[in-house]
Homo-oligomer: A and B are copies of this chain.
Amino acid sequence: MTILADDKVTAAASTDANHAAPDGFNLPALSALTIGERLINPDDVPWIPYVPGVDVKPLRLNRKTGLWVNLTRVAGGGTVSRHYHGSAVVGYVLEGSWHYIERDWVAKPGMMIWEPPGDIHTLVTGSEGTTSLFLMEGPIFYLNDDDQVVAFDDVLTFTKMYLDHCAAHGITPIDLDY
């Protein structure tokens, strides 16, 4: 890591107009303004059936930024149908494997996948299925064979799905909007 040398720091501060705040506030003062951290225990969030063979467990649903993070569990041979992401996506494989039928690589445990806006792909698992972590921003569009958008999801649709699922199953939802 970069070590910050110290000599002349005070001198610089006292002689440079842009550093003329010798009695400035400090980190303890900032701590009073720092908001709280969040710890999400996956046991506190149910698996929610998404489409046949695919369950999702949301870990973050930020309605201010549009970020949404899910564990996605796909049964062996399952599919997440052809889609287009409006923003970039990051995936991290926890178990099993999957691939996109449009690509020639296979995502395996420990691998990180980054997909740019506009990437169109169809996720298919190996026979063992997979559990992966997906960090998304903004909407996902599902496409038909004619490249037309037939459905979408985003942080709001997933928030609604989560709340509806909890209501239907007598589960108290936790706050995932962070």
Q: Give the nearest-CB partner of A40 in chain B.
A: B112
A contacts with B, residue count (CB < 8 A)? 101
Closest beta carbon of chain B to A54's beta carbon, Å? 8
Per-position contact with B for A138-168: 1 when CB-CB < 8 Å, else 0? 1101111111111111111101110010000
Interface assignment of A76: CB less than 8 Å from any CB of chain B: no
Chain A 1-53 interface residues, beta-carbon cutoff 8 Å to B: 1-10, 12-13, 16-22, 24-31, 33-42, 50-53
Q: Give the nearest-CB partner of A115 in chain B.
A: B37
Which residues of A are at the interface with B, using a C-beta cutoff of 8 A? 1-10, 12-13, 16-22, 24-31, 33-42, 50-54, 59-60, 63-66, 69, 79-81, 84, 86-88, 90, 92, 94, 103, 105, 107-108, 110-120, 133, 135, 137-139, 141-157, 159-161, 164, 178
